[in-house]
A and B are shown apart, each in its own frame.
Chain A
Amino acid sequence: DAGVTQSPTHLIKTRGQQVTLRCSPKSGHDTVSWYQQALGQGPQFIFQYYEEEERQRGNFPDRFSGHQFPNYSSELNVNALLLGDSALYLCASSSSLAYEQYFGPGTRLTVT
């Protein structure tokens, strides 16, 4: 089991553009959470998906949206990119039966 995988590894976008990040959960997991980690900060919760629905959302604007597919994989979409969206985006998966979240390696997004 490769664990949680994310793609792409790195991404450079221009302000105002849109971006889609992808995540495949660990085998046996059905829940996916997304976090944003700015430089020098801890990860900040964006939202969590379970049964293809957004189950909980953090304090992020509507420009951040997501989706979960029937195979439990997930996408994070960010519209109208701002310079401040530059960060490491982490995906974490978990089982609906347990609290522990397992993290992917992250996608480094740079907005210029």
Chain B
Amino acid sequence: AQRVTQPEKLLSVFKGAPVELKCNYSYSGSPELFWYVQYSRQRLQLLLRHISRESIKGFTADLNKGETSFHLKKPFAQEEDSAMYYCALSGDSGYALNFGKGTSLLVTP
């Protein structure tokens, strides 16, 4: 069975501080992992995908198969990063996205 766990419901950091949003998964095959973000009053949008290994808006995420983790990191948080962040997994079929419950990130000045 697939499962995505985001242990923090809310994460509050100061502007300029590093931020790490945790994501752990369970899946027996080779997962496709994503981070989606939802800013206030906007639709859910793709932030990054592990296979592309890009850095989007300063965020990076590395897939650690040994620890079954895909944590999202940014070295210096900005106020505009305040949003709801969801980690999602897609299994071998590549169809359904299995989401975690999300972490609300609040960046305060």
Please give the residue numbers on chain A whose beta carbons come within 8 Å of chain B beta carbons, in ascending order: 3-4, 33, 35, 40-45, 48, 55-56, 58, 90, 92, 99-106
Contact = CB atoms under 8 A, between A and B. Distances in A.
Interface string B78-109: 00000000101010011111111110000000
Interface of B: 4, 32, 34, 36, 43-46, 49, 86, 88, 90, 93-102
For B34, B97, B98, which residue has the most chain A Cβ atoms within 10 angstroms?
B97
Contacts of A101: 46, 97
Nearest to B102: A42
Contact of A48 (B36, B44, B96): B96
Contacts, number: 53
Interface of A is mostly: loop
26 contacts: A3-B43, A4-B43, A35-B99, A41-B102, A42-B86, A42-B102, A43-B44, A43-B97, A43-B99, A44-B99, A45-B96, A45-B98, A48-B95, A56-B93, A56-B96, A58-B96, A90-B44, A99-B49, A99-B90, A99-B94, A100-B34, A100-B46, A100-B49, A102-B45, A103-B36, A103-B43
Nearest to B101: A42
Given A42-B99, A44-B99, A99-B49, 6 more contacts: A35-B97, A99-B34, A102-B45, A103-B36, A103-B43, A103-B45
For A41, A43, A92, A105, which residue has the most chain B Cβ atoms within 10 angstroms?
A43
For B4, B44, B100, B101, which residue has the most chain A Cβ atoms within 10 angstroms?
B44
Given A90-B44, A103-B45, A106-B43, A42 B100 contact: yes
A39 B93 CA distance: 28
Nearest to A4: B43
A41 B96 contact: no
A3 B46 CA distance: 13
